[in-house]
Structure 1
Protein backbone atom coordinates (compact mmCIF):
# COMPACT_ATOMS: atom_id res chain seq x y z
CA UNK A 1 0.00 0.00 0.00
CA UNK A 2 1.49 3.34 -1.06
CA UNK A 3 1.07 6.52 0.95
CA UNK A 4 1.09 9.78 -0.93
CA UNK A 5 3.67 12.37 0.05
CA UNK A 6 0.93 14.80 1.23
CA UNK A 7 -0.72 12.11 3.39
CA UNK A 8 2.67 11.09 4.80
CA UNK A 9 3.51 14.66 5.81
CA UNK A 10 0.11 15.19 7.41
CA UNK A 11 0.62 12.03 9.48
CA UNK A 12 4.06 13.26 10.58
CA UNK A 13 2.69 16.70 11.49
CA UNK A 14 -0.23 15.18 13.41
CA UNK A 15 2.09 12.92 15.41
CA UNK A 16 4.41 15.86 16.17
CA UNK A 17 1.46 17.93 17.38
CA UNK A 18 0.31 15.08 19.63
CA UNK A 19 3.86 14.63 20.96
CA UNK A 20 4.30 18.36 21.68
CA UNK A 21 0.92 18.51 23.47
CA UNK A 22 1.93 15.56 25.67
CA UNK A 23 5.36 17.08 26.28
CA UNK A 24 3.78 20.42 27.31
CA UNK A 25 1.92 18.85 30.24
CA UNK A 26 4.09 18.61 33.34
CA UNK A 27 4.94 15.21 34.79
CA UNK A 28 2.91 14.48 37.96
CA UNK A 29 4.65 14.10 41.33
CA UNK A 30 2.90 10.76 41.88
CA UNK A 31 3.37 8.14 39.18
CA UNK A 32 0.64 5.52 38.94
CA UNK A 33 -1.01 3.31 36.37
CA UNK A 34 -4.70 3.33 35.47
CA UNK A 35 -7.15 2.54 38.26
CA UNK A 36 -9.36 -0.54 38.26
CA UNK A 37 -12.25 -0.25 35.76
CA UNK A 38 -15.36 0.93 37.57
CA UNK A 39 -18.93 -0.23 36.80
CA UNK A 40 -21.72 2.20 35.99
CA UNK A 41 -23.57 3.38 39.11
CA UNK A 42 -20.86 2.44 41.62
CA UNK A 43 -19.50 5.31 43.71
CA UNK A 44 -15.74 4.93 44.05
CA UNK A 45 -12.91 6.82 45.73
CA UNK A 46 -10.62 8.42 43.20
CA UNK A 47 -8.12 9.86 45.69
CA UNK A 48 -7.90 10.88 49.34
CA UNK A 49 -6.21 14.12 50.35
CA UNK A 50 -5.78 13.81 54.13
CA UNK A 51 -4.05 17.22 54.45
CA UNK A 52 -7.26 18.87 53.22
CA UNK A 53 -9.60 16.41 55.00
CA UNK A 54 -11.10 15.59 51.60
CA UNK A 55 -11.88 12.55 49.50
CA UNK A 56 -12.44 12.77 45.75
CA UNK A 57 -15.16 10.39 44.66
CA UNK A 58 -16.74 9.69 41.32
CA UNK A 59 -19.30 7.56 39.54
CA UNK A 60 -19.99 6.64 35.93
CA UNK A 61 -23.66 7.50 35.40
CA UNK A 62 -24.37 5.80 32.06
CA UNK A 63 -26.06 8.99 30.83
CA UNK A 64 -24.87 10.59 27.60
CA UNK A 65 -25.36 14.15 28.86
CA UNK A 66 -23.28 13.68 32.04
CA UNK A 67 -21.39 10.36 31.84
CA UNK A 68 -19.35 10.89 35.04
CA UNK A 69 -20.20 12.56 38.34
CA UNK A 70 -17.28 13.84 40.40
CA UNK A 71 -17.11 15.62 43.76
CA UNK A 72 -14.93 16.34 46.76
CA UNK A 73 -16.39 15.31 50.11
CA UNK A 74 -15.16 15.97 53.63
CA UNK A 75 -13.62 12.90 55.27
CA UNK A 76 -14.61 13.61 58.87
CA UNK A 77 -16.27 16.65 60.49
CA UNK A 78 -13.70 16.50 63.31
CA UNK A 79 -10.73 16.52 60.90
CA UNK A 80 -8.48 19.58 61.17
CA UNK A 81 -7.24 20.50 57.68
CA UNK A 82 -3.59 21.43 57.16
CA UNK A 83 -4.36 22.45 53.56
CA UNK A 84 -7.32 23.88 51.66
CA UNK A 85 -9.22 22.21 48.85
CA UNK A 86 -10.32 24.89 46.38
CA UNK A 87 -12.54 24.95 43.30
CA UNK A 88 -10.41 24.37 40.20
CA UNK A 89 -12.64 26.60 38.04
CA UNK A 90 -11.89 29.58 40.28
CA UNK A 91 -8.23 28.77 41.03
CA UNK A 92 -7.36 27.87 37.40
CA UNK A 93 -4.37 25.73 38.40
CA UNK A 94 -1.40 25.61 36.04
CA UNK A 95 2.36 25.42 36.34
CA UNK A 96 2.60 29.03 35.16
CA UNK A 97 0.48 30.13 38.14
CA UNK A 98 2.65 28.36 40.75
CA UNK A 99 0.70 25.09 40.93
CA UNK A 100 2.37 21.67 40.77
CA UNK A 101 0.70 18.71 39.04
CA UNK A 102 0.50 16.35 42.00
CA UNK A 103 -1.35 13.36 40.56
CA UNK A 104 -2.88 12.13 37.30
CA UNK A 105 -5.55 9.47 37.83
CA UNK A 106 -7.18 7.54 34.97
CA UNK A 107 -10.38 5.65 35.81
CA UNK A 108 -11.64 3.37 33.00
CA UNK A 109 -15.35 2.67 32.55
CA UNK A 110 -15.93 -1.09 32.96
CA UNK A 111 -19.04 -1.02 30.75
CA UNK A 112 -17.32 1.03 28.03
CA UNK A 113 -13.57 0.34 27.76
CA UNK A 114 -13.05 3.19 25.28
CA UNK A 115 -14.11 5.79 27.89
CA UNK A 116 -12.16 6.93 30.92
CA UNK A 117 -12.32 9.70 33.48
CA UNK A 118 -9.04 11.59 33.90
CA UNK A 119 -8.58 13.51 37.16
CA UNK A 120 -5.70 15.93 37.53
CA UNK A 121 -4.90 16.85 41.13
CA UNK A 122 -2.94 20.08 41.49
CA UNK A 123 -1.07 21.28 44.58
CA UNK A 124 0.01 24.82 45.38
CA UNK A 125 2.67 24.88 48.08
CA UNK A 126 2.08 27.08 51.09
CA UNK A 127 4.59 28.92 53.20
CA UNK A 128 7.75 27.18 54.29
CA UNK A 129 7.61 25.14 57.49
CA UNK A 130 8.57 27.00 60.67
CA UNK A 131 12.19 26.69 61.72
CA UNK A 132 13.14 24.29 64.46
CA UNK A 133 14.42 25.53 67.80
CA UNK A 134 17.47 24.31 69.72
CA UNK A 135 15.56 21.20 70.85
CA UNK A 136 14.58 20.29 67.29
CA UNK A 137 10.93 21.26 67.77
CA UNK A 138 8.77 23.61 65.73
CA UNK A 139 6.90 25.84 68.10
CA UNK A 140 4.11 28.31 67.47
CA UNK A 141 3.27 30.67 70.29
CA UNK A 142 -0.34 31.75 70.64
CA UNK A 143 0.30 35.44 71.33
CA UNK A 144 2.72 35.74 68.38
CA UNK A 145 0.19 34.06 66.10
CA UNK A 146 -2.58 36.41 67.28
CA UNK A 147 -0.38 39.42 66.53
CA UNK A 148 0.51 38.02 63.09
CA UNK A 149 -3.18 37.38 62.35
CA UNK A 150 -4.11 40.92 63.38
CA UNK A 151 -1.39 42.27 61.08
CA UNK A 152 -2.53 39.99 58.23
CA UNK A 153 0.80 38.15 58.16
CA UNK A 154 -0.24 34.54 58.77
CA UNK A 155 1.54 31.94 56.68
CA UNK A 156 -0.48 30.64 53.73
CA UNK A 157 -1.72 27.07 53.72
CA UNK A 158 -1.02 24.67 50.85
CA UNK A 159 -3.93 24.31 48.42
CA UNK A 160 -5.28 21.44 46.36
CA UNK A 161 -7.58 21.51 43.34
CA UNK A 162 -8.86 18.75 41.05
CA UNK A 163 -9.92 18.89 37.41
CA UNK A 164 -12.00 16.27 35.61
CA UNK A 165 -11.78 15.46 31.92
CA UNK A 166 -13.50 12.63 30.06
CA UNK A 167 -11.50 10.93 27.33
CA UNK A 168 -12.61 8.48 24.70
CA UNK A 169 -15.85 7.70 22.98
CA UNK A 170 -19.06 7.01 24.83
CA UNK A 171 -20.70 3.64 24.22
CA UNK A 172 -24.28 3.30 22.97
Structure 2
Protein backbone atom coordinates (compact mmCIF):
# COMPACT_ATOMS: atom_id res chain seq x y z
CA UNK A 1 0.00 0.00 0.00
CA UNK A 2 1.50 3.34 -0.99
CA UNK A 3 1.55 6.05 1.64
CA UNK A 4 -0.02 9.37 0.83
CA UNK A 5 3.48 10.56 0.03
CA UNK A 6 4.39 9.82 -3.53
CA UNK A 7 7.38 12.00 -4.06
CA UNK A 8 8.48 12.95 -7.54
CA UNK A 9 11.38 14.92 -8.97
CA UNK A 10 9.07 17.87 -9.55
CA UNK A 11 8.73 18.39 -5.80
CA UNK A 12 12.33 17.76 -4.86
CA UNK A 13 14.38 20.18 -2.83
CA UNK A 14 17.07 22.21 -4.56
CA UNK A 15 20.39 20.44 -4.94
CA UNK A 16 22.95 21.73 -2.50
CA UNK A 17 26.49 22.06 -3.81
CA UNK A 18 27.83 21.32 -0.35
CA UNK A 19 25.66 18.82 1.47
CA UNK A 20 26.42 18.38 5.17
CA UNK A 21 28.06 15.08 6.12
CA UNK A 22 25.31 12.44 6.41
CA UNK A 23 24.90 10.31 9.53
CA UNK A 24 25.12 7.18 7.33
CA UNK A 25 28.23 6.79 5.20
CA UNK A 26 27.60 4.80 2.01
CA UNK A 27 29.04 4.65 -1.47
CA UNK A 28 27.21 4.75 -4.77
CA UNK A 29 24.78 1.85 -5.13
CA UNK A 30 24.69 -0.61 -8.04
CA UNK A 31 23.48 0.89 -11.35
CA UNK A 32 19.78 0.23 -11.83
CA UNK A 33 17.98 -0.70 -15.05
CA UNK A 34 15.15 1.35 -16.56
CA UNK A 35 11.65 0.29 -15.41
CA UNK A 36 13.06 -1.85 -12.58
CA UNK A 37 11.68 -0.90 -9.16
CA UNK A 38 14.39 -1.05 -6.49
CA UNK A 39 14.54 -0.41 -2.75
CA UNK A 40 16.67 2.58 -1.84
CA UNK A 41 16.33 2.49 1.93
CA UNK A 42 14.24 0.85 4.63
CA UNK A 43 13.20 2.79 7.71
CA UNK A 44 11.76 0.16 10.09
CA UNK A 45 10.71 2.61 12.81
CA UNK A 46 8.45 4.38 10.25
CA UNK A 47 7.21 1.05 8.79
CA UNK A 48 8.35 2.32 5.40
CA UNK A 49 10.79 1.79 2.59
CA UNK A 50 11.81 4.17 -0.15
CA UNK A 51 11.49 2.69 -3.64
CA UNK A 52 12.71 4.18 -6.89
CA UNK A 53 12.67 3.50 -10.62
CA UNK A 54 14.30 5.02 -13.70
CA UNK A 55 11.50 5.65 -16.21
CA UNK A 56 13.46 6.15 -19.43
CA UNK A 57 11.45 9.34 -20.07
CA UNK A 58 13.32 12.62 -20.52
CA UNK A 59 10.62 14.72 -18.83
CA UNK A 60 10.45 12.56 -15.70
CA UNK A 61 13.57 10.32 -15.64
CA UNK A 62 13.21 8.93 -12.11
CA UNK A 63 10.31 8.34 -9.75
CA UNK A 64 10.38 7.39 -6.12
CA UNK A 65 7.79 6.68 -3.48
CA UNK A 66 7.56 5.91 0.21
CA UNK A 67 5.86 2.52 0.59
CA UNK A 68 4.42 1.02 3.77
CA UNK A 69 6.25 -2.22 4.60
CA UNK A 70 3.38 -4.04 6.31
CA UNK A 71 -0.24 -3.26 7.16
CA UNK A 72 0.31 -4.65 10.67
CA UNK A 73 3.49 -2.68 11.42
CA UNK A 74 3.08 -0.15 14.23
CA UNK A 75 5.20 2.91 13.33
CA UNK A 76 7.36 4.56 15.97
CA UNK A 77 8.25 7.40 13.56
CA UNK A 78 6.50 9.40 10.83
CA UNK A 79 7.43 10.12 7.23
CA UNK A 80 6.59 13.59 5.91
CA UNK A 81 6.86 15.36 2.56
CA UNK A 82 10.27 17.08 2.31
CA UNK A 83 8.92 19.69 -0.10
CA UNK A 84 6.47 20.85 2.58
CA UNK A 85 8.74 20.79 5.64
CA UNK A 86 11.96 21.94 3.90
CA UNK A 87 14.36 20.13 6.27
CA UNK A 88 17.63 21.79 7.22
CA UNK A 89 20.09 21.59 10.07
CA UNK A 90 19.03 25.10 11.13
CA UNK A 91 15.50 23.83 11.82
CA UNK A 92 16.56 20.82 13.92
CA UNK A 93 16.82 18.19 11.17
CA UNK A 94 19.79 15.84 10.85
CA UNK A 95 21.11 14.99 7.38
CA UNK A 96 20.72 11.23 7.70
CA UNK A 97 21.57 9.61 4.36
CA UNK A 98 22.73 10.40 0.83
CA UNK A 99 21.88 7.72 -1.73
CA UNK A 100 23.29 7.97 -5.28
CA UNK A 101 21.76 5.60 -7.84
CA UNK A 102 23.38 5.46 -11.30
CA UNK A 103 21.27 4.72 -14.36
CA UNK A 104 22.53 1.42 -15.89
CA UNK A 105 21.50 2.50 -19.41
CA UNK A 106 22.83 6.07 -19.09
CA UNK A 107 25.93 6.16 -16.83
CA UNK A 108 26.13 9.98 -16.97
CA UNK A 109 22.80 10.24 -15.11
CA UNK A 110 22.06 9.41 -11.48
CA UNK A 111 19.22 9.80 -9.04
CA UNK A 112 20.21 11.38 -5.73
CA UNK A 113 18.01 10.84 -2.66
CA UNK A 114 18.62 12.85 0.48
CA UNK A 115 17.06 11.50 3.68
CA UNK A 116 16.60 13.78 6.68
CA UNK A 117 15.73 12.80 10.25
CA UNK A 118 14.26 14.99 12.98
CA UNK A 119 14.75 13.38 16.38
CA UNK A 120 11.97 13.44 18.94
CA UNK A 121 13.35 15.91 21.45
CA UNK A 122 10.89 14.97 24.18
CA UNK A 123 11.07 11.18 23.82
CA UNK A 124 12.04 9.57 27.10
CA UNK A 125 11.83 5.90 28.04
CA UNK A 126 9.08 4.94 30.48
CA UNK A 127 9.96 4.77 34.17
CA UNK A 128 10.86 1.36 35.56
CA UNK A 129 8.26 -0.32 37.74
CA UNK A 130 8.88 -2.22 41.01
CA UNK A 131 10.17 -5.24 39.03
CA UNK A 132 12.64 -3.08 37.10
CA UNK A 133 10.63 -3.30 33.84
CA UNK A 134 9.59 -0.45 31.57
CA UNK A 135 5.91 -1.11 30.95
CA UNK A 136 3.34 0.76 28.91
CA UNK A 137 -0.27 0.10 29.85
CA UNK A 138 -3.04 0.42 27.27
CA UNK A 139 -5.46 2.26 29.56
CA UNK A 140 -2.78 4.82 30.53
CA UNK A 141 -1.91 5.38 26.86
CA UNK A 142 -5.58 5.86 25.97
CA UNK A 143 -5.92 8.52 28.68
CA UNK A 144 -2.84 10.38 27.41
CA UNK A 145 -4.11 10.16 23.82
CA UNK A 146 -7.46 11.61 24.89
CA UNK A 147 -5.68 14.72 26.19
CA UNK A 148 -3.86 15.23 22.84
CA UNK A 149 -0.52 15.26 24.67
CA UNK A 150 1.08 12.28 22.96
CA UNK A 151 4.88 12.24 23.11
CA UNK A 152 6.72 13.40 20.01
CA UNK A 153 8.08 10.77 17.63
CA UNK A 154 11.03 10.97 15.23
CA UNK A 155 10.21 12.26 11.75
CA UNK A 156 11.83 11.37 8.42
CA UNK A 157 11.70 13.16 5.07
CA UNK A 158 13.27 12.35 1.70
CA UNK A 159 13.95 14.53 -1.33
CA UNK A 160 15.05 13.34 -4.75
CA UNK A 161 16.82 14.99 -7.66
CA UNK A 162 18.34 13.74 -10.90
CA UNK A 163 21.91 14.80 -11.59
CA UNK A 164 24.11 14.53 -14.65
CA UNK A 165 23.17 14.77 -18.28
CA UNK A 166 20.47 12.71 -19.93
CA UNK A 167 21.37 10.31 -22.70
CA UNK A 168 19.78 10.58 -26.14
CA UNK A 169 16.73 8.53 -26.70
User: Counterpart in 2 of 1:37?
Assistant: 31
The CA deviation at 1:91 is: 1.8
Corresponding residue for 1:17?
none
Q: Does 1:99 align with 2:90?
A: no
| Residue 151 (structure 2) pairs with residue 138 (structure 1) | no
Per-residue deviation at 1:130? 1.6
Give the drift of 1:97.
1.3
SS at match of 1:51: helix
| Contact 2:32–2:104 (8 Å) recurs in 1 | yes
Q: Does the alignment pair 1:148 with 2:162?
A: no
TM-score by length of 1: 0.81
If asked which structure has higher relative contact order (CA below 8 Å, sep 6+), I would say 2
Given the alignment, which residue of 51, 56, 60 partners 2:50?
Answer: 56
Which sections of structure 1, spanning at least 5 residues, go unmatched? 1-19
Specify the SS of the correspondent of 2:140.
helix
TM-score with structure 2 length normalisation?
A: 0.82
Stretches of structure 2 lacking an aligned partner (at least 5 in a row): 1-15
Q: 1:112 aligns with which of 99, 106, 115?
A: 106
Q: Do the aligned residues in 1 keep the contact of 2:32 with 2:103 (CA within 8 Å)?
A: yes
Q: Check whether the contact 2:80–2:155 (CA below 8 A) recurs between aligned residues.
A: yes
Who is 1:8 aligned against? none
**Residue of 111, 121, 140 corresponding to 2:115:** 121
Residue correspondences, number: 151
**1:113 counterpart SS class:** coil
**1:36-73 Cα shifts (integer Å, max 9, x gaps):** 00011111111111111111111111110000011111
Three-state SS of the structure 1 residue aligned to 2:42 is strand
What secondary structure, in the 3-state scheme, does the structure 2 residue paired with 1:86 have? strand
2:164 aligns with 168
Report the structure, 1 or 2, having the larger helix content. 1
TM-aligned CA distance change 1:120 to 1:136, over 3 Å? farther
The DSSP-based 3-state class of the residue aligned with 2:45 is helix
Which is worse superposed, 38-47 or 124-133? Answer: 124-133
Deviations 1:104-161 (A, max 9, x none): 1000011111110000111111132324416443222334333322332210111111
